[in-house]
Amino acid sequence: MNATAKRAGLTREKVLRAALELVDRDGIEKLSMRRLGAELGVEAMTLYHYVPHKAALLDGLVEQVVSAVRPAFDGPAAEWPARLREFAVAFRDELLRHPGVIPLVATRPARSATALRAVEDAAAALGEAGIAPVQALRIVNAVSTLVIGHCLAEAATTPGHPEQPGDDLDLTAFPTLAEAVAGGLGTPADHQARFDLALDALLTGLQA
């Protein structure tokens, strides 16, 4: 560790937290080693003592979000669908707290031991119900993919392309859509209802 890093009191955890705060505030497209260094009061090169390259920094952001999902997986083995539902709800809540990181979680698999802990705990809970490891991980993956995909749509942001306000769509020719919009389609309550519907359907099918 060099003297600059030591004086700044940096650790890998502090660097990753600062990166997450930067992304939360300004978006993933604004993240760079130079800008992150400025946030921490050091030169960009100093950061390479903690994250060897930009890819490692992006993986670290995934780790920060995924490792924060820590639902309990105790209870009767037969109740694994309920435990998986708790996992899915907690995962969605965490992703929506950090919408700028959702595209990374969607495209970069969890690699660190810290990030893999939630996956391991969920799969182990299914194992206690007699589900083989490969099938357990497929189930966890199916639930995780549902959550990530729903959050991508719910966050509705494209990195590097901020949305510009535009005119409302004319739904005159689409009476079913118009009625759905009038009934609350696209509202926060609708996002929640759609998530619950999809998750319950998936868990019911997986249990069967």
Q: Using H for helix, E for strand and C for coil, what is the string for 94-136? A: HHHHCHHHHHHHHHCCCCCHHHHHHHHHHHHHHHHCCCCHHHH
**Continuous segment of H or E residues that includes residue 62:** helix 54-66
What's the CA gap between 198 and 206, in Å, rounded?
A: 12
Residues 100, 177: Cα–Cα separation, whole Å: 29
In whole angstroms, what is the distance from residue 156 CA to residue 163 CA?
9
What pLDDT is recorded for position 20?
Answer: 97
Other Cβ atoms closer than 10 A to 19: 25
pLDDT tens-digit profile, the chain (208 residues): 555 555 468 999 999 999 999 999 999 999 999 999 999 999 999 999 999 999 999 999 999 999 898 877 888 888 899 999 999 999 999 999 999 999 999 999 888 888 888 888 888 889 999 999 999 999 999 999 999 999 999 887 665 555 555 557 788 888 898 888 888 888 888 899 999 999 999 999 998 8
Residue closest to 154 by CA, chosen among 190, 109, 198, 203 = 190
Enter the pTM of the model: 0.85
Beta bridge partners of 161: 158
Distance CA 178, CA 184 (A): 10
Residue 147: C-alpha distances to residues 55, 84, 177, 188 (Å) = 24, 11, 24, 16
